[in-house]
């Protein structure tokens, strides 16, 4: 699938989780992508609500947060229709989101399971090479970073990044004081996700 548009949007959801966290992350990732992988993404991402038809204007949605996520029936149906009609979503666990989003995704796709992506998946090599798979950006619980996917047939429609926290790595350097090589790893992996979403 090649999408005609290249704009990104931040997904706003209910449940009390901080969907608005990491405010500098996506603008920095967009700047990196436009400079390095020939995208032409608007510098400031829009915010769209999960139950709104506005999500269909964007080929790529980004979702993050630390805590609770809740999708009502209309939210789940809207997101399901979006993903089945060609959309893509990256969900980045900013720490503490995993148990909530896992449950809510069962409302969206009761018949699908999150599947861990192997390091051989093309999302880890489409532009920048990550032979070990998802990079570790922040320590969190010290667990290994994992990338999980939902598929429709052979098409990856959703990636959930866990115990990595790419979004913190995309933020302005003074926010988390990450070494430049760590930030660069995060930005490169983010660029891979965007490139993959736009081209597959």
For the record, the structure tokens of 38 come out as: 């020939």
Find, among 51, 79, 90, the residue nearest to 186 by Cα.
90
For the record, the structure tokens of 114 come out as: 């999150």
Angle between helices 98-108 and 73-84 (to 10 degrees): 80
For the record, the structure tokens of 49 come out as: 């609500």
How are beta strands 8-12 and 60-65 bridged, if at all?
parallel
Kindly give, in sequence order, each residue whose CB lies less than 8 Å from that of residue 74, ignoring residues fewer than 6 positions away. 51
Per-residue confidence (pLDDT) for residue 4, from 0 to 100: 41
Q: Which CATH superfamily is domain 8-199 in?
A: Domain of unknown function DUF4159 (3.40.50.12140)
- Residues 55, 61: contact at Cβ < 8 Å? yes
State the CB neighbour count (10 A cutoff) for residue 40.
10
Q: What is the pLDDT along the chain (200 residues), one digit of tens a residue?
A: 333 468 999 999 999 888 988 899 999 999 999 999 999 999 999 999 999 999 999 999 999 988 899 999 999 999 999 999 999 999 999 888 999 999 999 999 999 999 999 999 999 999 999 999 999 997 756 789 999 999 999 999 999 999 999 999 999 988 878 899 999 999 999 999 999 999 98
Per-residue confidence (pLDDT) for residue 1, from 0 to 100: 30
């Amino acid at each position: 699938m090649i999408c005609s548009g290249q704009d990104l949007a931040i997904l706003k959801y209910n449940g009390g989780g901080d969907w608005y966290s990491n405010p500098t992350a996506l603008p920095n990732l967009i700047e990196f992508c436009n400079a390095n992988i020939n995208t032409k993404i608007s510098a400031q991402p829009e915010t769209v609500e999960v139950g709104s038809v506005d999500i269909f204007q964007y080929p790529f949605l980004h979702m993050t947060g630390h805590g609770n996520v809740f999708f009502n029936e209309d939210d789940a149906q809207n997101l399901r229709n979006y993903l089945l009609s060609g959309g893509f979503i990256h969900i980045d666990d900013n720490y503490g989101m995993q148990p909530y989003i896992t449950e809510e995704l069962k409302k969206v796709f009761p018949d699908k399971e999150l599947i861990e992506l192997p390091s051989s998946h093309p999302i880890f090599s489409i532009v920048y090479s990550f032979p070990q798979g998802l990079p570790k950006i922040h320590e969190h619980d010290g667990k290994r970073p994992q990338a999980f996917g939902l598929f429709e047939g052979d098409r990856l429609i959703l990636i959930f990044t866990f115990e990595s926290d790419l979004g913190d790595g995309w933020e302005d350097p003074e926010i988390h004081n990450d070494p430049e090589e760590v930030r660069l790893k995060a930005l490169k992996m983010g660029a891979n996700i965007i490139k993959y979403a736009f081209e597959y």
